[in-house]
């Protein structure tokens, strides 16, 4: 407390008014006592210069220490929470989220399923969440999950496409829910048990609707697949990435049955999905002593994951940490934004939020 230039409670210490406020100063010449503020002004310039240099140094040191602590805290928070930003509207407006539930709520998957290029990507993401991530979703995210799933089912019922894909998704989800509901006493699910029972009943109803679908043949009579030359039919079959589709196609007509058993067709399918090392571990010989590529394929898919292929994927910008769909521009500040984007598979997307 300043009192006529001197702290009367502590002999030998003076209060000096600086740009940062009042600072206590020890006076060595007066033997610990200074009469008034004018006595301090009579000190030599050398002591005054040392005093203010010391004060400026202390202020700068405190500021550097504070900035260092703030930067360290921000860096640590970023690595622990794994913030990912999604851009909305303006270059100055970025909203962050650090959990899978928040990301699932903010990314517009409801619109993505209407795009045929993104449909399989969203369905695969729903399947992975159903297998192991349901308990990590918040109540709102779980409700949003069921709403998106309902839209997916309705789209399949209308288009009569991707029926088997959605059947597998619903079966995976129902199996996971049966396991989780049995453990409801351990609070592994958010919400009332009656609500989850109702959702399980909805899943069973959707499965029944998918089983009742009867695909009708088109009314027009034109060129069909079997009317094309054999080389074109085989070329079309080579575009199928799922062996089950080949088997189903071979059941349509006898001619297609013969083509669907082509060894070269199944060999390319195995080489597309699996590595040479994986193939060498699962070799199967036929009765004629040749490699049975068809049997090898179905054995390999039971042992290893197949190669995933999507028309459109989510992209993560490593520079500004913005998450967006492929082909969607974002306000990246990097010199070469194209080199900063990384395609994320559905599993990579989920791995972003595992910490």
What's the confidence (pLDDT) of residue 187? 54
264, 297, 301, 302 from 305: Cα distances, Å: 21, 11, 6, 8
Q: Return the percentage of the chain with pLDDT > 90, whole number.
A: 17
**Per-residue model confidence (pLDDT) at position 300:** 92
Domain ranges of the chain: 94-212, 242-303
Closest to 80 measured CA to CA, from 98, 64, 66: 98
- Mean pLDDT throughout 31-39? 43
pLDDT range class, residue 33, cuts 50, 70, 90: very low
Are 312 and 72 spatial neighbours (Cβ–Cβ below 8 Å)?
no
Q: Tell me the average pLDDT across 24-35.
A: 48
Give DSSP secondary structure letters for 257-300: HHHHT-HHHHHHHHHHHS-HHHHHHT--B-TTSSB-HHHHHHHH
User: DSSP 3-state assignment of 351?
Assistant: helix
More confident residue, 148 or 184: 148
pLDDT at 311: 82
Q: What pLDDT is stored for residue 64 in this prediction? A: 59
Q: Return the pLDDT at 204.
A: 95
What's the pLDDT band for 5 if we cut at 50, 70, 90? very low
Kindly report the number of other CB atoms within 10 A of residue 107's CB atom: 20
HSE-CB of 350 using CA atoms within 13 angstroms: 17
pLDDT of residue 81: 39
Q: What percent of the chain has pLDDT over 70?
A: 69
Q: What is the pLDDT of residues 68-125, one digit of tens each?
A: 555 544 433 333 334 454 544 333 333 455 677 777 777 778 888 888 888 999 999 9
pLDDT single digits (tens) 236-245: 888 888 888 8
Q: What is the arithmetic mean of pLDDT over 31-51?
A: 46
* 85 vs 172 pLDDT, higher one: 172
The per-residue pLDDT for range 148-171, each reduced to its tens digit, is: 999 999 999 998 888 989 999 999
pLDDT for res 322: 77
Among the ranges given (60-64, 142-146, 287-291), the one the predictor scored with the smallest mean pLDDT: 60-64
> Per mean pLDDT, which range of 11-20, 96-105, 174-183, 307-316 is the poorest?
11-20
Lowest mean pLDDT among 21-25, 89-93, 149-153, 286-290: 89-93
Q: Whats the size of the chain, residue-wise?
A: 355
Radius of gyration of the chain (CA): 35
Q: How many C-beta atoms lie closer than 10 Å to residue 294's C-beta?
A: 22
Query: Mean pLDDT score of the chain, rounded to an integer?
Result: 75
Cα separations in angstroms, 270 against 75, 188, 243, 250: 45, 40, 9, 18
Which position has the higher pLDDT, 12 or 276?
276
Kindly indicate the confidence band of residue 173, based on its pLDDT and cuts at 50, 70 and 90: very high
Give Cβ neighbours of residue 347 (< 8 Å, ≥ 6 apart). 128
At 180, the pLDDT band (50, 70, 90 cuts) reads confident
Please state the pTM of the whole predicted model.
0.66
What's the rounded Cα separation, in Å, for the pair 302 and 157?
A: 29
For residue 174, give every residue at least 6 positions away whose Cβ sits within 8 Å of its Cβ, in sequence order, or none. 200, 203, 204, 207
Q: What is the pLDDT of residue 15?
A: 66
pLDDT score at 316 = 83
Q: Torsion angle of alpha carbons 246, 247, 252, 255, nearest 10°?
A: 70
Q: How much is the pLDDT for 127?
A: 93
* Residue 230 CA from chain centroid, whole number: 44
Cβ neighbours around 164 below 10 Å, total: 13
* Lowest-pLDDT range of 22-36, 50-64, 69-83, 175-189: 69-83
* pLDDT at residue 150, as a whole number: 93
Question: How confident is the model over 295-319, as pLDDT tens digits?
Answer: 999 999 989 888 888 888 888 887 7
């Amino acid at each position: 407390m300043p009192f006529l230039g001197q702290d009367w409670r502590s002999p030998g210490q003076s209060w000096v008014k600086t740009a940062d406020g009042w600072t206590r100063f020890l006076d060595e010449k007066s033997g610990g006592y200074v009469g008034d503020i004018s006595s301090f002004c009579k000190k030599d310039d050398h002591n005054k210069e040392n005093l203010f240099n010391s004060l400026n140094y202390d202020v700068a040191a405190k500021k550097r220490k504070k900035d260092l602590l703030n930067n360290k805290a921000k860096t640590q928070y970023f690595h622990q929470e794994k913030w990912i930003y999604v851009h909305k509207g303006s270059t100055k407006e970025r909203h962050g989220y650090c959990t899978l539930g928040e990301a699932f709520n903010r990314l517009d998957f409801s619109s993505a399923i209407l795009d045929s290029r993104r449909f399989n990507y969203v369905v695969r993401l729903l399947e992975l969440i159903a297998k192991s991530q349901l308990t990590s979703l918040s109540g709102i995210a779980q409700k949003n999950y069921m709403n998106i799933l309902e839209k997916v089912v309705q789209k399949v019922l209308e288009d009569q496409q991707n029926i088997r894909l959605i059947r597998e998704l619903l079966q995976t989800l129902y199996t996971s829910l049966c396991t989780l509901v049995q453990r409801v006493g351990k609070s592994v699910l958010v919400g009332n048990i009656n609500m989850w029972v109702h959702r399980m009943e909805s899943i069973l109803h959707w499965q029944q609707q998918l089983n009742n679908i009867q695909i009708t043949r088109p009314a027009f009579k034109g060129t069909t697949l079997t009317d094309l030359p054999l080389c074109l039919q085989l070329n079309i079959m080579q575009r199928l990435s799922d062996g089950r589709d080949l088997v189903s196609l071979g059941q349509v007509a006898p001619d297609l049955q013969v083509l669907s058993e082509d060894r070269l067709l199944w060999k390319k399918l195995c080489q597309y999905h699996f590595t040479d090392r994986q193939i060498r571990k699962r070799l199967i010989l036929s009765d004629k002593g040749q490699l049975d590529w068809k049997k090898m394929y179905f054995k390999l898919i039971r042992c290893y994951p197949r190669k995933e292929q999507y028309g459109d994927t989510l992209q993560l910008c490593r520079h500004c940490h913005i998450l967006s769909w492929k082909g969607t521009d974002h306000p990246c500040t990097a010199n070469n934004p194209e080199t900063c984007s990384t395609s994320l598979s559905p599993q990579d997307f989920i791995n972003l939020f595992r910490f």
